[in-house]
Structure 1
């Protein structure tokens, strides 16, 4: 790791820059609206699309995406807290564990960690070797992942101490009804329960450091490990929570069976169609999104979000309602989300592109729809031998995931 990367640990006052970028983004969106309005006018008058105007719209749309990504990066950098702060166990225990862990990482001295393990009467080592990072480092890795992993940021997250979480879920509640004071009460049926199983799978990253970096007392080792693994973990999680097949990884919500909403049953995810193959319908394109929103029950709509990739979002950005208002609006504040029809948009690159029969847009209350399961404990195994002169840090955590309520989200299929 070079000096440039180490310099990235420094805290910078980014708020003024973020506010400036937010203002620039709003001006860019105004330019986008003007250019897209011109494109739509040309379509109406000439029955064809003007190439120059279309290219201008796409160019401004790309600039909007770039500005939004820049704002997200700067906002994330500003909100990152420092690692290694004292926690609820008390400063002495925190300091001892942190100090012991730092000696292990910097010089490979395992003795202080083993003494801490004996004193705490806990097992810090796993069957596959390695030591648990301090609780504060693990908590901050989790918080950072929530900030940069799109599905984790909106899903429910449960921390467990076992390898598998088994969760009963009531598909239908107990029957009930109205009755007079002296009337006979028929026996009601018992609630129908389903047992959902969420196994945790091992996720790993292997950051490398030079001896010079480890010898530099100015480098916060806890913070360095957290920053190195967060991007690797977030990328793997992001793909698994959307498209994972459940084999040695969580099962993504796009990997479950799907069925037309009119035939929906528990165990499948319902979808509605756009009315055109591989596209929004040319007449009333917004109607498909409205139908998708109202395919969801009212109780789920309150906290619902759209999930799509950036290319799909670029297409949605051009849509208007029947009153001529754009459905897509940029974030109202720095660090916020763009909205479609008032609902936040979460950008997940693993979602499919718009194509014939693709399920390119999801809409639902993901906190009730998808469950992320974290097993307690992030482990680090120091390896100074495999890639000399670098020291490798084999860092692992166990994560699972899957749908917990099949009625809490719906998909939009681009088909007739």
Structure 2
């Protein structure tokens, strides 16, 4: 093509675009058009600037519109030559909620599969795939060696974050806790070694009022370590082969909805009541948890609720939530204050104007109530608790594997699948804190004793 004169500004560019002969020379091939755009951007705005990038995009769009209006049949350069952004299709809500991590192992594989169901179907039919699809699946197998290998296939990051998004709808702990990305299997995390706020705070920071030119007194805070270790949680399910073969939509719904909800159930159970042996240490079992003695055995009374509220760390009062077993609902719905010495009780705290039970305001003393079967039943320690999950750490390896069981269930015509993730959980605070004015200890984790 004839070498075009590169415009210096928008007016010269407009003049050039008005000349069909010059336009024809410029758009004779996608490569020529790309070179022209680069040269124009460099001359008009300077190489390497943000303005150059904006000009590139604007000029490409303008030329594409011009060609479309004049009936030219040529591919837009941004479609033909620009490498697609693998993260452009990621739902912004996933990134905004801290679920999608562009640095995670699975991000290298984004774009290979449109859904988790499609991925699992490929795994199940791996011996029947054509060369292209077999190559995609092999990529997942190869990258799975970057994490502790269970012989599975690494799930692309977009699909992993989508699975987590679904699980958040049913999770108690994960949406409220501090999630720490884990780049390795074992991650130490700093913790403040604080047991008292008498004379110092945050484990040894002391403040002094000092006269002008007076000598400063040194203080040193004590820090400890919490070690998060990636524990393996495996979700296992047997799927009817007809479901996978006959309906990708139904299969997608099962894999994309039921599997993450099931994983979140077992995560929550461990994050709340786990013993820390081969699994996370639950928030209710940490050393910082305070047990409040109940007034009457196997009952929950208003005095118990007030006693628990009074033991909550003040800075946690605006974030704490109540956790209650379903078996505790009848007693919680009848909580009432008794007036003075005449024994007259106030209306139940959950009732207002005789509203139906399903319209009850689910809060106690202004804090939300979460009803969950993942805490102990009525009468057991922790059947009611008040927790600030900002003091609970979740270590997330941010890599999931999928695999099909090699066992065949011929008698039921089912196919078994596994999803493997690696997570850990630990309370951040290691002990209850004595307040500055003395008295009973305080904590962000308060539970009703057995």
Is TM (by shorter chain) over 0.5? yes
Q: Structure 1 residue 105 and structure 2 residue 123: aligned?
A: yes
CA distance in 2, matches of 1:176, 1:273: 35
Q: Structure 1 residue 318 and structure 2 residue 334: aligned?
A: yes
Secondary structure at the residue paired with 1:95? coil
Q: Structure 1 residue 113: deviation in Å?
A: 6.9
Secondary structure at the residue paired with 1:205? strand
Give the conservation status (yes or no) of the 8 Å contact 1:205–1:233.
yes
- Give the structure 2 partner of residue 352 of structure 1: 376
Give the conservation status (yes or no) of the 8 Å contact 1:137–1:223.
no
State the TM-score, normalizing by the size of structure 1: 0.65
State the TM-score, normalizing by the size of structure 2: 0.60
CA distance in 1, matches of 2:135, 2:381: 56
Secondary structure at the residue paired with 2:89? coil
CA distance in 1, matches of 2:88, 2:406: 28
- Give the structure 1 partner of residue 445 of structure 2: 409
- Give the structure 2 partner of residue 151 of structure 1: 173
CA distance in 2, matches of 1:224, 1:354: 33
- Largest Rg, 1 or 2: 2
**Count of aligned positions:** 312
Give the conservation status (yes or no) of the 8 Å contact 1:98–1:134.
no
- Give the structure 2 partner of residue 274 of structure 1: 294
Which of 113, 125, 133 is equivalent to 2:155? 133
CA distance in 2, matches of 1:222, 1:147: 18
Q: Structure 1 residue 122: deviation in Å?
A: 7.3
- Kindly report which structure 2 residues correspond to 1:5-404, keeping only aligned pairs within 5 A, or say none: 86-87=89-90, 94-98=110-114, 101=119, 104-108=122-126, 112=132, 115-116=135-136, 123-125=143-145, 127-171=149-193, 172-188=203-219, 190-216=220-246, 218-219=248-249, 222-256=252-286, 267-280=287-300, 285-322=301-338, 324-328=346-350, 338-355=362-379, 358-368=381-391, 370-383=392-405, 385-388=407-410, 389-404=413-428
Give the conservation status (yes or no) of the 8 Å contact 2:336–2:349.
yes
Q: Structure 1 residue 308: deviation in Å?
A: 1.6
Q: 1:211 to 1:200 in 2, by over 3 A?
A: same
CA distance in 2, matches of 1:227, 1:195: 36
CA distance in 1, matches of 2:142, 2:123: 20
CA distance in 2, matches of 1:165, 1:232: 26
Q: 1:93 to 1:239 in 2, by over 3 A?
A: closer
Secondary structure at the residue paired with 2:256? helix
Give the conservation status (yes or no) of the 8 Å contact 2:230–2:397.
yes
Q: Structure 1 residue 384: deviation in Å?
A: 5.6
Q: 1:179 to 1:375 in 2, by over 3 A?
A: same
- Structure 2, unaligned stretches of length 5 or more? 1-86, 92-101, 194-202, 340-345, 432-442
Q: Structure 1 residue 216: deviation in Å?
A: 3.4
Secondary structure at the residue paired with 2:249? coil
CA RMSD of aligned residues (A): 3.6
Give the conservation status (yes or no) of the 8 Å contact 2:231–2:424.
yes
Q: Structure 1 residue 217: deviation in Å?
A: 5.8
Q: 1:119 to 1:248 in 2, by over 3 A?
A: closer
Secondary structure at the residue paired with 1:411? strand
Secondary structure at the residue paired with 2:119? helix
Give the conservation status (yes or no) of the 8 Å contact 2:324–2:375.
yes
